[in-house]
Amino acid sequence: MAADEVVANRFRSYLREHAGKEDGPPPALEVRAWLNPDGTVERVIFPALKNAQADDDLHAILKRGNVGAAPPPEMLQPLNLRFSLNIK
């Protein structure tokens, strides 16, 4: 999310502009992620944000991820992750 590119910048702007508001993001977000054998992210699921563009942006940000190594074959999936959406 720290990348200096259009999607990440737009998502951070959404967080800054809507934090703490009724239409804003929750302080933390539970994400379920499935990894491919090469460590790339195959699929992510998270509760919908109250902004369709922010949903699409976060999905794109998380899907382009790579954990850097193949997950162990015995690793259970999905991975259950919790992200803080507080921007400072």
Q: Give the C-alpha separation, 9 to 57, whole Å.
A: 10
Q: 11-44 in b/e burial notation, b at 16+ Cβ within 10 A? A: beebbeebeeeeebbeeeeebebebeeeeebeeb
Q: Is the pLDDT of residue 1 over 70?
A: no
Please state the pTM of the whole predicted model: 0.86
Percent of the chain with pLDDT over 90: 67
For 9-30, the pLDDT digits (tens) are: 999 999 999 988 988 899 999 9
Total number of domains constituting the chain: 1
Within-domain flag for 43 = yes
Residue 37: give the domain boundaries. 6-84
Q: What is the CATH number of the domain that holds 54?
A: 3.30.2420
